[in-house]
Structure 1
């Protein structure tokens, strides 16, 4: 009988192992969300859970392995919600069901009934053996969203349109995590209902035709030096792809085929350059709004025109804009002003929507949530070509902007 004792203790050891592993993943997800992949170390995670670095590496040999495990954990959570939502009979009902489940999950996380899940912003910054598995799991989730747009009961869409709409919807949920903190967790379900209403039914009021006033994408006017603009574009692209800390001086210099000496000739330091990337992004957004003043038409026409111009800018030779996710890894002292500027510009969009509701060109919706959907759309356009390789200035408005503003299940 004594020989059976080790077998009896195995479940206890397994449970202890799983508990510790879950604590590591939870702490790592919170740190990656706050600091970005390149701004977090194994030692940071060890300190957060009260373990040694060696103890962490017993579970995950490298930071990239840990990040991949966090991403697989997050995609598994989304897969579970999608599996339940897929039981609904039609694509709009599946979207509504997924929204309810997703916002309930976010409420549980906010109230600490469920552990935090990692954001997906740094997905492409992961290298190493686990990177392919994490990317594959993310792609599988994307394909499940895309199935909503291949259903025979819906409109016949090209593969380009299916991919664009799947990216639009998936990104809307990822972006929602950024603005949901403005609500009480008990109000998350109502916020989800208002979001899904806009996604399915769009914003256009009765008789509002789809007609975007064609304008060239706005260009920033921060410097007359071509080399200066090149530094800003290169830094923006690298921060979007690798995060703030991953966009090193060496990487920025290599992208432009210049020396580090040349970098410091044009820039005081990296913090100064990235701050100017934000300034450039804000100026582009302000320029788009200035080109569509209240006197230029209805709220619907202005919203369509501003959104189209900014999304086209993302895919133009002057793009992209700096992604909102770059804020999380910015130096603490710089964040309050940048957050304030982002909020003010989002409020401008909400103001256009309020004007449209008042003049009847936009149907009654929650203007803050609708503005956040539009802001998230513009932000997500920077990654559109990862999913829609043929997206460009000439077709992105029809592929990506129109479904957001008129409804994601409307015919192309």
Structure 2
């Protein structure tokens, strides 16, 4: 990322032993990144302002602009810093001898960083979904950096020149990464002293899956037509807004872009909607209702509790992979205004709680292993959330195979 050079008259500070430390320039820049990362996670690229960054540091706004001339440059620097820090963790975990040991180390490093950020010892990782909100000149380099990180995580599971084998490894990597990223939403509800226990329970689910021992993954989802009949998305405004948010984030779903896709005027938008935020919040509510209707249609078929859950998950994957009317990605809630984001997050938490209850029912009947149902519910939610992001991956194989591969990772775990 381009940035202003260190002023030549800013002396290098040295420690008592003669070793160099950060310049005052670099120290202030890092403090700006500390504050900007928190604000970016709270308010998104759109809501973060130079003024708030400066106020948090008792600086003038011009002092922040001196380091980062444009707000998008600051946002890009925050995201680049987070990708680099996460990539360093990936490289460290990659030195372990086995796939299981690499993933376990990756979780340990991630949980340690999260704990330290909650204790205010270091800045947290930025929400990577905000990359979508940046203009192309900033977005494309960050995507390339994240893709390099993703490839290194994929190598935790081995390497292969076989395209079909690589698709399997890609699915494992997507589920692993998204499970960790989504954990930043629910981990703060646990006491820091419980993090090690939570991490071990999460790793157990990733390693062994959710289904009972010896249970094969036999997902039988609704067809695309059946899924759309069970969970239709009637409103053309919500169809366009949902797709734009999934592809470009909250900022990308502007009133102008929605109206341009519908070939209508702004006046037409405000005739049907009070404001953009009201429409986006209704998209979240409708996605929650559609999930409920979809699961009800699957439940009507019968089967064990886990079979019904797995078929429900697979049916959602059908919508996310192949439908023009997908469900809204929950990670899109990050850039929403605080009051609206709280309700959207509450809907996601409600779904995770419902999943936890269904998993407990499965444990009682023996179709689900003895696991932590709350953590498993969040892993399922992150899997559903992330499915839209790998539509290209799914398109490279038969839909039935793509769905069974993704759903099967939940049943049997992410290792061979």
SS for the counterpart of 1:394 is helix
What is the CA distance between 1:375 and its match in structure 2?
Answer: 0.5
Distance in 1 (CA, whole Å) between partners of 2:181 and 2:303 is 32
Q: Could you tell me whether the CA contact under 8 Å between 1:175 and 1:376 is conserved in 2?
A: yes
What is the CA distance between 1:239 and its match in structure 2?
Answer: 2.2
Identify which of 50, 62, 74 aligns with 2:58. Answer: 50
SS for the counterpart of 1:36 is helix
The alpha-carbon distance between structure 1 residues 292 and 8, as it changes in their structure 2 partners (threshold 3 A), is closer
Identify which of 145, 151, 156 aligns with 2:153. Answer: 145
| Corresponding residue for residue 345 of structure 1 | 351
The alpha-carbon distance between structure 1 residues 8 and 150, as it changes in their structure 2 partners (threshold 3 A), is closer
Identify which of 86, 97, 101 aligns with 1:93. Answer: 101
The alpha-carbon distance between structure 1 residues 35 and 11, as it changes in their structure 2 partners (threshold 3 A), is same
| Corresponding residue for residue 165 of structure 1 | 172
Identify which of 203, 219, 224 aligns with 2:210. Answer: 203
| Corresponding residue for residue 65 of structure 1 | 73
| Corresponding residue for residue 378 of structure 1 | 384
> What is the TM-score of this pair, normalised by structure 1?
0.89
Distance in 2 (CA, whole Å) between partners of 1:168 and 1:30 is 25
Q: Could you tell me whether the CA contact under 8 Å between 1:164 and 1:388 is conserved in 2?
A: no
Distance in 2 (CA, whole Å) between partners of 1:94 and 1:183 is 24
Distance in 2 (CA, whole Å) between partners of 1:128 and 1:52 is 29
| Corresponding residue for residue 3 of structure 1 | none
Identify which of 253, 259, 265 aligns with 1:253. Answer: 259
Identify which of 292, 310, 326 aligns with 1:320. Answer: 326
The alpha-carbon distance between structure 1 residues 246 and 156, as it changes in their structure 2 partners (threshold 3 A), is closer
State how 1:200-279 maps to structure 2 within 5 Å: 200-217=207-224, 218-219=227-228, 229-279=235-285
Identify which of 360, 366, 381 aligns with 1:354. Answer: 360
What is the CA distance between 1:14 and its match in structure 2?
Answer: 5.0
What is the CA distance between 1:248 and its match in structure 2?
Answer: 1.4
The alpha-carbon distance between structure 1 residues 8 and 33, as it changes in their structure 2 partners (threshold 3 A), is closer
SS for the counterpart of 1:80 is helix
1:17 equivalent to 2:25? Answer yes
Q: Could you tell me whether the CA contact under 8 Å between 2:82 and 2:126 is conserved in 1?
A: yes
Distance in 1 (CA, whole Å) between partners of 2:89 and 2:221 is 40
The alpha-carbon distance between structure 1 residues 74 and 335, as it changes in their structure 2 partners (threshold 3 A), is closer
The alpha-carbon distance between structure 1 residues 310 and 214, as it changes in their structure 2 partners (threshold 3 A), is closer
**Structure 2: segments with no counterpart, 5+ residues:** 1-7, 15-20
Residue by residue, what CA displacement relative to the aligned partner does 1:296-355 show, whole Å, maximum 9, x if unpaired?
221220121111111211123243222222333334443444333222211111111111
**Structure 1: segments with no counterpart, 5+ residues:** 1-5
What is the root-mean-square deviation of aligned Cα atoms in Å?
2.6
SS for the counterpart of 2:45 is coil
> What is the TM-score of this pair, normalised by structure 2?
0.88
How many residue pairs get aligned? The number is: 400
SS for the counterpart of 1:9 is coil
Distance in 1 (CA, whole Å) between partners of 2:369 and 2:118 is 31
Distance in 1 (CA, whole Å) between partners of 2:290 and 2:235 is 13
1:369 equivalent to 2:375? Answer yes
What is the CA distance between 1:376 and its match in structure 2?
Answer: 0.4
1:134 equivalent to 2:142? Answer yes
The alpha-carbon distance between structure 1 residues 194 and 111, as it changes in their structure 2 partners (threshold 3 A), is same
Between stretches 365-374 and 201-210, larger displacement belongs to 201-210
| Corresponding residue for residue 280 of structure 1 | 286
Distance in 2 (CA, whole Å) between partners of 1:200 and 1:176 is 17
The alpha-carbon distance between structure 1 residues 210 and 124, as it changes in their structure 2 partners (threshold 3 A), is same
Q: Could you tell me whether the CA contact under 8 Å between 2:132 and 2:249 is conserved in 1?
A: no
Between stretches 332-341 and 301-310, larger displacement belongs to 332-341
The alpha-carbon distance between structure 1 residues 220 and 46, as it changes in their structure 2 partners (threshold 3 A), is farther
Residue by residue, what CA displacement relative to the aligned partner does 1:44-72 show, whole Å, maximum 9, x if unpaired?
32222222222112111212211121112
The alpha-carbon distance between structure 1 residues 297 and 239, as it changes in their structure 2 partners (threshold 3 A), is same
| Corresponding residue for residue 315 of structure 2 | 309
Identify which of 91, 100, 117 aligns with 1:83. Answer: 91
